Structure formats: structure tokens, C-alpha cells
Structure 1
Amino acid sequence: MFVINSVMSRKAAQSGFTLIELMIVIVILGLLASLVAPEMFSKVGSTQKKVAATQMLSFDTALEIYRLDVGDYAENLEELRNSQKSGWDGPYFKKKIPLDPWNNPYQYRTPGDNGQGFYLASYGKDGQLGGDGDNEDIIHQ
């Protein structure tokens, strides 16, 4: 029995990680994070642009159905949810009209430019016309 207790107490004393082993693991995780994080964060901007383009495509579909029922495009995006116009058979957009991925309202007007029925855009992260990178305008055409 003495031998068994001696072996058990040695195993109990050796269980767990040493400080050096923990430091090595932390350094390896830090190196991996420094390699992976920039790649992942660079995707955020392009993902937000894709979300804006997809939401604008949903608006386009709703606006076209609205035009078929009412005879003209909505004066504002909220009319896709509630309108008193003759022929309105909505709501054409069931959820609350969303903001763009940067929490700015979408830019909408009718008639659009160059004879188009409407103009629909997101002005990017800065919410201002023009810009590059994350501030680049996304215009639905």
C-alpha cells in the first residue's frame, strides 16, 4: 500500500501544465491570431457591401411589384409597408424598412437619374455622397 500511495502522490504533483508550457501555447495562439485576424477583418467591409446590395435588390423587387399594383413607384420606401394609394395590395416589404449596414438610411428618390424609375443607394460607412473603400457609394441600377 505504501508503494501505491507514493505513486499517486507523485502523479498528483505532476498533473497540470508548467508556466513555460502555458507561455508557449499563448505565444503560438498570439502568432496565429496575428496572421488570421487581418484577413478576417478585411472581409468585414466587403461583406457589408454585399449586404447593402442584397437589401437593395429586395427593395427593387418590392418597388416593381408596388408599381405594377399602384401604377407608379412609391414616393418613399415606407410606402412599401403602408399606403393609402388606390390599387395598393401590400405590404410589399413585411419587415421594418432597414437601415444600411452602417446604420444610415438608404437614399431613395423617384424619378431616378437618366430616365430610370427610381434612384436607390447606400452612401457607405460615412453616409456621404462619394468616397473610397468602406465609404464607397453602392448604387442600385
Structure 2
Amino acid sequence: MIILGLLAALVGPRMFGKVGSSKQKSAKAQISLFETAIDTYRLEVGKFPTTEQGLQALRVKPDGVTKWDGPYLPKDIPLDPWGNPYTYKYPGEHGDYEIVSYGADGRAGGEKEDADIVSWKNIGE
């Protein structure tokens, strides 16, 4: 019994760390998928979706938009791995547009699992 307790104490924190890392990688992969869809949208429509139109413009034709040939994503816009919506902003401060997951805490900033996952950086930068 003592051995199991020691093993759990040693392995548990490492395993929970891997879960957090895997959620961050999943968020980055979803953001990359959004980027591809947004770039296709821009090629066809001639401009990026507005902040107000958001990522939903990749699934449903926005009012007043011509040349829309979507949907540009096969499924509805998912929540991030922590159950929070992604944030889309156009124009962006770090590129043409920005897509952000605010991490486990759902708030800007943070470290480790609470760190923001953003379209303009790789994880850990």
C-alpha cells in the first residue's frame, strides 16, 4: 500500500502535466485549422472576417458578403479544450488577425496550463 502511495505521488504530477500540455497542443492544432479556413475565406471573399462576424463566418455566410463559398470548416466552431470560446480579432496587433485561447483559467495571461495559446506564436515561446 505504501509503495502504491509513493508511486502515485511521483507519477501523478507528471501525468497531470502531460494532460495540460496535450490540451495546449490541441488548442494550437485547432487554431491552425482556423487559420487555414480563414485564409481560404479571404482568398474567396477578398477580405478577412470582421471581429463582429468572428469565426462563425467560416460556417455561416455573413450578411452582405458575396463570393462566400463555405462552409470553410466541416463542423461547428468548437470550444477550446477547457470549454471556453476562442477569441477572434481583425485586424490583429500581431498579424492580419488574431485567434486566442485563454488557457485553463479562461483569462488573458497566465503561465503553464493557464498560458494563452495564440495564433502568432508557437507553444512555449
Give the TM-score range, shorter chain.
Answer: 0.7 to 0.9
Question: Is 1:66 the equivalent of 2:46?
Answer: no
Which residue of structure 1 lines up, in the alignment, with residue 73 of structure 2?
93
Which residue of structure 1 lines up, in the alignment, with residue 87 of structure 2?
107
Paired positions, count:
115
Q: TM (normalized to structure 2)?
A: 0.83
CA distance in structure 2 between the partners assigned to 1:57 and 1:40 by the alignment: 26
Q: In structure 2, what residue type is equivalent to 1:93? A: L
Question: Is 1:129 the equivalent of 2:104?
Answer: no
Q: TM (normalized to structure 1)?
A: 0.74
The structure with the larger Rg is 1
CA distance in structure 2 between the partners assigned to 1:96 and 1:82 by the alignment: 10
1:39-92 Cα offsets, whole Å, 9 max, x none, are 211111111111110000000000000000000112210010010421111110
CA distance in structure 2 between the partners assigned to 1:129 and 1:36 by the alignment: 30
Cα-Cα RMSD = 1.5
Q: In structure 1, what residue type is equivalent to 2:57? A: E
Gapped regions of structure 1 (runs ≥ 5): 1-25
Which residue of structure 1 lines up, in the alignment, with residue 96 of structure 2?
117
Higher relative contact order (CA 8 A, sep 6+): 2
Q: Which has the higher helix share?
A: 1
